[in-house]
Amino acid sequence: MEEHKEKKFNDFGLAEKSESDGYRAVNKDGSFNITKTNVPFFERLNFFHNLVTMSWFHFFVSILIGYFIVNFLFAGIYMWIGVENLTGTYGITNLEQFTETFFFSAQTITTLGYGRVAPIGLAANIVAAIESMLGLLTFALATGLLYGRFSKSRTKIKYSDIGVIAPYLNGNGFMIRVVNPQNNELLEVNADLSVSFRKEGSQHREFHNLKLERNMVFFFPSVWTIVHPIDEMSPLYKMTEKEFEERNVEFIVMLKAFDESSSQTLYSRSSYRAEEIVWGAKFTYLGQHKDGKLHIDVSGLNTYDQRDLQ
C-alpha cells in the first residue's frame, strides 16, 4: 500500500521511462519536450489556441491571408454569376472584371459599400447578403481574438541559464535565480521545484518534489534566489557531479504569481540539466544602492563566484 502511494506521488505525467541520455522533459523556454504522433488531423485542430498563442507577425499574416482568400473566393462567385449582375462595372478583359469584383467583395465583406458597384438580380443580391453576414461574423471573431491576445498576460520572468551547487548553512544547496525584467507587479509568487533522474541500473526515471528554503515571496520587485537545501532528507544527498551526469538529472522549476496589472494568475516554468549546473559556485549579489534606490543589474543574472563545497 505504501509503495503504491509513493508511486502515485512521484507520477508527474512526464513519462517514467527514458531511452536516451539526451532526453529532456521540459525545454528551457518552459515548453514540454513531447510530441504526439498518429493523431487524426481533425482531432489536432485547435484554431483558437493557435491564433492566440502564435507570434504577432504570424497572427497578422494569417488574418491577411484569410482576408484575401475569402475575397478571391467571392470574386470568383461574382464572375461565375456574371458581371452584368453588378452595376457600375466597366472592365472589359477578364482581369479587369475580376479586379472590380474583388474590390466589390472587399467593400461588401467590410460593409463599407462605396456605392459605384451594386448587385442587381436575385443571385447577386443573395451572394452579397451572405458575404455581408459572413463579414460581420468574421470581423467579430477577429476582434475577439485580438482582444484575447491583448488581454492574455504573458510573463517574461527570466531564469538564470545555470543552476549552482553552492555552500548553504551547514551543508550545500541547489540554487537558481529568477527576475521579472518588466515593470508589472507580481504578487504572492510561489515556486515549485522538482527533480527527476534515472534509477540505478534502470532506464526508468523517478521524480521528487524538493523542499525549498522559501517557496513563496509576497512581492517580487527584485531578484529571487530559489534554494533547495541538500540535507539528509533530500534525494540528492551525497550525489556527486559524476552521478548527476550519469543519471541524467533534470530539475524542473515552476512559478505561479498574481499579476496586479491584469488581475490574472501567471505560470512560468523552465528546467536545468546536469550540464547546466555549476558545482562549487555561488551567485553574486546584483543589487547596488544608488540615489536612494536599489538598482538590480539583470545582465548579471548568471554571474557567480567560486566557493568550496561543504
Query: 171: domain CATH number?
Result: 2.60.40.1400
* The predicted structure's pLDDT at residue 73: 94
What average pLDDT does the structure give for the chain? 83
Other beta carbons less than 10 A from residue 48's beta carbon: 12
**Mean pLDDT for the stretch of residues 222-247:** 91
Any domain includes 18: no
Kindly state whether residues 170 and 192 are assigned to the same domain: yes
Kindly state whether residues 216 and 288 are assigned to the same domain: yes
**Residue 120: enclosing H or E segment and its boundaries?**
none
* The predicted structure's pLDDT at residue 36: 66
Kindly state whether residues 91 and 107 are assigned to the same domain: yes
Containing structural domain, residue 160: 155-306
Domain end (from 151, 184, 201): 151
Kindly state whether residues 122 and 161 are assigned to the same domain: no
How far is 31 from 36, CA to CA, in rounded Å?
14
Any domain includes 169: yes
Domain end (from 125, 151, 177): 151
Cβ distance 305 to 281 under 8 Å?
yes
How far is 127 from 114, CA to CA, in rounded Å?
18
Interval 69-122: pLDDT, tens: 999 999 999 999 888 888 888 878 888 889 989 998 998 888 887 777 888 888
Give strand pairing partners of 216: 190
* The predicted structure's pLDDT at residue 6: 42
Interval 122-149: pLDDT, tens: 888 899 899 889 988 988 888 888 887 8
* The predicted structure's pLDDT at residue 190: 94
Q: Which residues contact 176 (CB under 8 A, 6 or more apart)?
A: 159, 160, 162, 163, 164, 225, 226, 251, 253, 272
C-alpha cell at 94: 477578364
Kindly state whether residues 172 and 296 are assigned to the same domain: yes
Which of 302, 308, 288, 283 is closest to 167 using CA atoms?
308
pLDDT level of residue 41 (50, 70, 90 thresholds): low
Place of cell 510573463: 155
Kindly state whether residues 169 and 298 are assigned to the same domain: yes
pLDDT level of residue 14 (50, 70, 90 thresholds): low
Sign of CA dihedral 123, 129, 131, 134: negative
Which of 132, 210, 126 is closest to 175 using CA atoms?
210
